[in-house]
Structures are given as structure tokens and as C-alpha cells.
Chain A
Amino acid sequence: MLVLLFILFGALAVGCALAMVAQRNPLYSAISLIGVFISLACLYVTLAAPFIAAVQVIVYAGAIMVLVVFVIMLLNVEQEERRRTRLKFLVPTAIALAAVLIAEVAFILVSVQEFRVSPSGATSDIGLTQSIGPALFTKYLLPFEITSILLLMAIVGAMTLARRGGLLPAGARVIPGAQQFPLSFVDPKAQPDDLTLVEADSTEEAGRLLGVEKQSTDYADK
């Protein structure tokens, strides 16, 4: 039974992985990768690790892949264009070297004495949340805390990278709770590079300070 499940989900994982590499559209690659994640989660269940299987589905197939698909949609990725292969003579060399590598691995798998360890079976309780929790919060507390710091750094780094920077002019004074608008916000005829800074509590007051009160009242009438 376990052998059948292993063959089924292993073949599914390898097939989805190959489809992911073969696809040219990144969205189809993402969907194939979700297939790999879910078949690996099924393999974890057969390995008596239900907690890891659940986290695999939630974190990988849920959070990470949603993020990837979101970015693919956001950036409107076009299909990868097919390019002519450079260095054509390297292709037979690569195939030959891959054959040698596969032969070596097969030789090792066949000739080395099979390492017999008993599979866990259904009676094992090492994969349960009940047994993972104490180890995580006692013996491995330091990696856990370091991971939390890493996540904090990732949050700050992602926000810094994705933010559009460089909008404030040099020498600008940042006042918390204040907004900065260009002069053209109150005067449609103003030059866009006019960077006279005024301090005001409302748009009308800013327009009065800049001498464009008429336009701002026109805005207010409309």
C-alpha cells in the first residue's frame, strides 16, 4: 500500500517538476509547482509527518505560491521567447556527461549494500504537533528565535525594496502627519519643477501663501 502511494505521489511530483521546467509561461510553471508541493505533502503524510504536511500545504502551496502568482499577475509577464541555442557543439557533450553521471548514480544504488532501517509505520508519534512543540521551544529555541528575527528582517527588506523611493527633493523637511504636494496641485499653470515649500494647514491656505488663491477658490466652487 505504502509502495503504491510512494510510486503514485513520487511520479506525480517528478512529472509536475518536469512540466514546470518545460513550461514557457510562468503562470503554468507556478501551477505545476503547486502540484509538486501537494504531492510532496502527501509523501510527508506517508512518512508519518502530518504536521509538516499541513505546514507544507499552508505555507508553500498557500502563502508562497499566492505571492508568486500575485507578482506574475502584477508584472504581466509575457511568455519567454525562444532563443536560438548558442554553442551547439556543447549539446552532445552535455548529454554524454549526463549519461556518465546517471550511470555512476545507478552503480552506487545497485552495488552499495542496502541500508536497512525500519520504516516508522503508523504507530510513530514523532511527527505530531505534540512532539514537535516541546523540542522546538526547549532544545531548539535559539534557531526558532533567530528565525523570527530573520522574518522581521525580511518584512523590513521587502517593504524597503518594493517602495518607490526618491520622491522627496533634496533638503526636504519631513513632518510626521504632513503631506507634500507639488505647486501644480493648487496652481495648474505652475511649472512642475517649482519646489517652493510652504507650510500650511489646508490647500486654501497653501494657495494663499503661494499667491494662487484664485485658482484654489475656483477648485472649491467646482
Chain B
Amino acid sequence: MEPQLSWYLALSAVLFTIGVTGVIVKRNIISMFMCIELMLNAVNLTFVAFASFFQDVTGQLFVFIVMTVAAAEAAVGLGIIIAIFRNRESLDVDEASILKL
């Protein structure tokens, strides 16, 4: 018995849901950031599973591009986090409910 495509999709859905839950539950902005990374990884798993089961390289290319976007997002997001911390002395998202610094 081989792993089916639906198994990978179910695992990906579970990971994505955990990520969404984390974004909703967490108040620390860095923890929320890491939950977003988890959601991106869940989508990547879907891409790789489809690429592998359909014998098509396109899915893996999109995973590559998603990873690059995630790296760019990490750089800019952490810059924003540092700017918020410098202005508010806190990483609580409720403290940063006004976008004005």
C-alpha cells in the first residue's frame, strides 16, 4: 500500500489549520509571523504532492518561488517588527492596533 494523494492533502490541511489557529490565538507578533510561515509550508506540501503524483515539474517550481517570497516576507516582516518594537517597546499586537507609529 502506497501513500495516497489525499493523505498528503489531509496532512497539508491539518498543518494549514494549525497555522490559522495560531495566527488567531497568538498575541505575540513574532509567534504570529511563524504561524504564517507554517501556513506557507502547508501549501508547499500540497504543491509538491500534486507535482509528484501528476509527474509535472511545475508544482515544484512554484514551491521554489513561494520559498523566495517567504524569504522576502521574512526580511521585510522582521524589519517591521523591529520598527514596531522600537516605537512601542512591546510586541503585543493589541498594542499596535493603530497603524500610525
The answer to whether A3 touches B1, judged by C-beta atoms less than 8 angstroms apart, is yes
Residues of B that sit less than 8 Å from A by CB? 1-8, 10-11, 13-15, 18-19, 21-22, 25-28, 30-31, 33-35, 37-38, 41, 44-45, 48-49, 51-58, 60-61, 63-65, 67-76, 78-83, 85-86, 91
* Interchain CA distance A44-B21 in the complex, whole Å: 24
Residues of A that sit less than 8 Å from B by CB? 2-3, 6, 10, 13-14, 17-18, 20-21, 26, 29-30, 33, 36-37, 40, 43-44, 46-49, 51-52, 55-56, 59-60, 63-64, 67-68, 71-72, 74-75, 77, 80, 83, 105, 109, 114-115, 117-120, 124, 126-127, 131-132, 135-136, 140, 143-144, 147, 150-151, 153-155, 157-162, 164
Q: Of A109, A126, A140, A158, which is within 8 A of B76 by CB?
A: A158
The answer to whether B38 touches A17, judged by C-beta atoms less than 8 angstroms apart, is yes
User: Given the interface contacts A127-B60, A158-B78, does A64 sit within 8 Å of B71 by beta carbon?
Assistant: yes
Q: Of B18, B64, B81, which is within 8 A of A18 by CB?
A: B18
User: Given the interface contacts A36-B15, A60-B67, does A131 sit within 8 Å of B74 by beta carbon?
Assistant: no
Chain A interface, DSSP helix/strand/loop, else mixed: helix
Q: Of A46, A72, A109, A162, which is within 8 A of B79 by CB?
A: A162
Could you jot down 13 A-B contacts, CB within 8 Å? A21-B35, A59-B67, A64-B74, A67-B74, A74-B82, A75-B30, A109-B10, A114-B6, A117-B5, A124-B52, A124-B55, A127-B52, A157-B75
Chain B interface, DSSP helix/strand/loop, else mixed: helix
The residue in chain B whose Cβ has the minimal distance to the Cβ of A140 is: B61
